[in-house]
């Protein structure tokens, strides 16, 4: 994306006067102080759908527009959630390590995995990505339930009134909400205990949505069965305790990270910046 930006625009890499548009990633975002170091800023284009690291309220107060990259990454992120589910239940990463470590030859077959087909799956946040995950689960799930603050009209899944109720009625809880203040710690000890010792947590949303200390404790104490995590509270740091757990699959925030989708995201960022400089309507403004 850097080359494309460089060939089209006068690119600067440090904040300062004269900068009218800023491009940032979801993990980096942009804070109020950096925004204020750019007195001429009028657009922040985020190369991610999640903009929880952007101080949107401050940008709005300064009259700065914000864009993100919805839709183009939905399918790949949903695929990542499904990959994590299967990796946890069918022990894909563990078995791979078992073969590479020569344990198959030395010790014979490893312990059995668990069946995913027929499990009850709960989606926390039935938005674009949550819906794509639910669609993928439909052919193999026993039941699909969801919770979001507003029930989705026409959704063919059972609605749970809150997050604890959702967790209590499913085997797998998939977190697919945005991050930020509104969802911080939404998946807390009570939710994890409701999911229980046979339950699995999948998080492809943001680390901030899950109380990470409570998650580590629940796994360590056997109050939660397993987890598949693409995101963490303090990326790229992953709690040491998780690294040693065989019932946990860990990914380095790769939800949308395919060559095809990263290109589509970069194209959308550039299209937004071009529209801005051409005085045309932005393609995907954050409402
Ligand atoms: P979206 O379409 O806006 O969906 C978000 C869903 O979360 C909505 O159903 C919303 O419904 C629900 N929600 C919001 N606040 C909630 C709350 N407090 N309690 C319960 N539900 C709540 O967004 P999306 O495109 O699906 O993306 C979702 C998030 O996935 C992004 O914001 C990003 O953080 C994350 N993501 C991660 C990766 C990765 O690489 N791992 C990739 C892409 C996206 P209501 O408003 O009705 O509550
Ligand atoms: C990735 O995490 C995104 O929000 O697009």
The per-residue pLDDT for range 117-128, each reduced to its tens digit, is: 999 999 999 999
d(CA 19, CA 189): 45
In this prediction, residues 168-182 reach a mean pLDDT of 98
Query: Do residues 60 and 109 share a domain?
Result: no
Q: 283 in a domain, yes or no?
A: no
Neighbours of 41 (CB within 10 A): 23
Share of the chain above pLDDT 90, in %: 97
The count of other CB atoms within 10 Å of the CB of residue 69 is: 27
* Mean pLDDT calculated for residue range 142-169: 98
Query: Which pLDDT belongs to residue 15?
Result: 95
Q: Are residues 82 and 106 in the same domain?
A: yes
Together in a domain, 23 and 91 = no
Same domain, 63 and 15: yes
Summarize the confidence of residues 26-32 as an average pLDDT. Answer: 97
**Average pLDDT over every residue of 13-33:** 96
Same domain, 120 and 239: yes
The answer to whether residues 57 and 143 belong to one domain is: no
Atom of ligand 1 nearest to the CA of 131: 26
Judgement on whether residues 207 and 139 belong to the same structural domain of the protein: yes
The answer to whether residue 284 is domain-embedded is no
> Which helix (H) or strand (E) is 227 found in, with range?
strand 226-229
Q: Please state the φ and ψ torsions of residue 62, each to the nearest 5 degrees.
A: -90, 0
Q: Are residues 168 and 201 in the same domain?
A: yes
| CA–CA gap between residue 138 and residue 141 (Å, rounded) | 5
Predicted pLDDT at 248: 98
Q: Which domain holds residue 13?
A: 2-72+258-277
Alpha carbon nearest to ligand 2 atom 5, residue: 48
Distance, in Å, from the CA atom of 51 to the CA atom of 71, rounded to the nearest integer, reads 14
Q: Who wins on pLDDT, 4 or 31? A: 31
Q: Going by C-beta distance under 8 Å and a sequence separation of 6 or more, which residues neighbour residue 150?
A: none
Helices 92-100, 74-89: axis angle to 10 degrees equals: 60
- Please identify which of the residues 75, 91, 206, 212 carries the catalytic annotation: 206
Question: What are phi and psi for residue 51, nearest 5 degrees?
Answer: -120, 30
Q: What does pLDDT average to over the chain?
A: 97
Distances in Å between the alpha carbon of 138 and those of 11, 120, 273? 46, 10, 38
Strand segments (E) across 27-96 = 43-47, 65-67
Q: Would the CB of 176 count as within 6 Å of ligand 2?
A: no
Whether 24 and 129 map to the same domain: the answer is: no
Q: What pLDDT sits at residue 67?
A: 98
Q: Which residue has the higher pLDDT, 19 or 6?
A: 19
First-to-last alpha carbon distance for the chain, in angstroms, is 25
Identify the pLDDT of residue 84.
Answer: 98
Q: Which atom of ligand 2 is nearest to 48's Cα?
A: 5
Question: Which tens digits make up the pLDDT trace of 196-253?
Answer: 999 999 999 999 999 999 999 999 999 999 999 999 999 999 999 999 999 999 999 9
The two beta strands, 226-229 and 248-250, are parallel
**Residue 82 neighbours by CB distance under 10 Å:** 19
Measured from the Cα of 206, ligand 2's closest atom is 2
CA-based angle 181:242:26, to the nearest 5?
A: 35
Under 8 Å CB-to-CB from 115, ≥6 apart: which residues? 89
Cis peptide before 236 (omega within 30 of 0): yes
User: Which CATH number fits the domain that encloses residue 19?
Assistant: 3.40.50.720
Question: Both tokens of residue 51?
Answer: 């903009």
- Position 1 scores a pLDDT of 82
Same domain, 211 and 263: no
Specify the number of domains making up the chain: 2
Q: Please say if the pLDDT value at position 257 is more than 90.
A: yes
pLDDT digits (tens, 9 = 90+) for 200-211: 999 999 999 999
CA angle 94, 230, 151 (to 5 degrees): 120
Regarding whether 162 and 67 lie in a shared domain, the answer is no
- What does the block give as tokens for 268? 């959308």
92: in domain: yes
Q: Is the pLDDT of residue 188 over 90?
A: yes
Residue 253 bears catalytic tag: yes
Report pLDDT for 13. Answer: 86
Instruction: Please confirm, yes or no, whether 58 is among the known catalytic residues.
Output: no
Average of per-residue pLDDT across 253-258? 98
Which residue has 């946990």 as its token pair?
Answer: 248
| 94 and 204 belong to one structural domain | yes
Q: From the candidates 235, 237, 246, 260, which is the catalytic residue? A: 235
The answer to whether position 287 is within a domain reads no
The yes-or-no verdict on residue 2 having pLDDT over 90 is no
pLDDT higher than threshold 90 for residue 105: yes
Q: Is residue 285 part of a domain?
A: no
Three-class SS of residue 205? coil
């Amino acid at each position: 994306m850097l080359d494309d930006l460089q060939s089209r625009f006068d690119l600067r890499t440090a904040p300062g006067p004269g900068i009218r548009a800023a491009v940032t990633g979801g993990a980096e975002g942009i804070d109020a102080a950096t925004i204020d170091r750019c007195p001429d800023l009028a657009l922040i284009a985020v190369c991610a759908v999640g903009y929880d690291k952007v101080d949107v309220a401050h940008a709005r107060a300064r009259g700065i527009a914000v864009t993100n990259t919805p839709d183009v990454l939905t399918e790949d992120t949903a695929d990542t959630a499904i990959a994590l589910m299967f990796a946890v239940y069918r022990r894909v990463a563990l078995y791979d390590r078992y073969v590479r470590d020569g344990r198959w030859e030395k010790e014979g077959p490893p312990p059995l995995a668990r069946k995913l087909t027929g499990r009850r799956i709960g989606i926390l946040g039935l938005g674009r990505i949550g819906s794509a995950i639910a669609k993928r689960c439909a052919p193999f799930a026993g039941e699909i339930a969801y919770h979001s603050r507003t029930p989705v009209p026409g959704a063919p899944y059972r609605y749970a009134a809150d997050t604890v109720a959702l967790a209590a009625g499913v085997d797998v809880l998939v977190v697919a909400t945005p991050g930020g203040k509104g969802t911080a710690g939404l998946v807390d000890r009570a939710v994890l205990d409701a999911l229980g010792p046979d339950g699995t947590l999948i998080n492809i949303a943001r680390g901030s949505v899950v109380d990470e200390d409570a998650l580590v404790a629940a796994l360590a104490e056997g109050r939660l069965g397993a987890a598949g995590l693409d995101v963490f509270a303090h990326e790229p740091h992953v709690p040491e305790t998780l690294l040693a757990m065989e019932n946990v699959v860990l990914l380095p925030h790769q939800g949308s990270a395919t060559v095809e989708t990263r290109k589509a995201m970069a194209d959308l960022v550039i299209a937004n910046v071009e529209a801005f400089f051409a005085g045309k309507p932005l393609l995907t403004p954050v409402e």
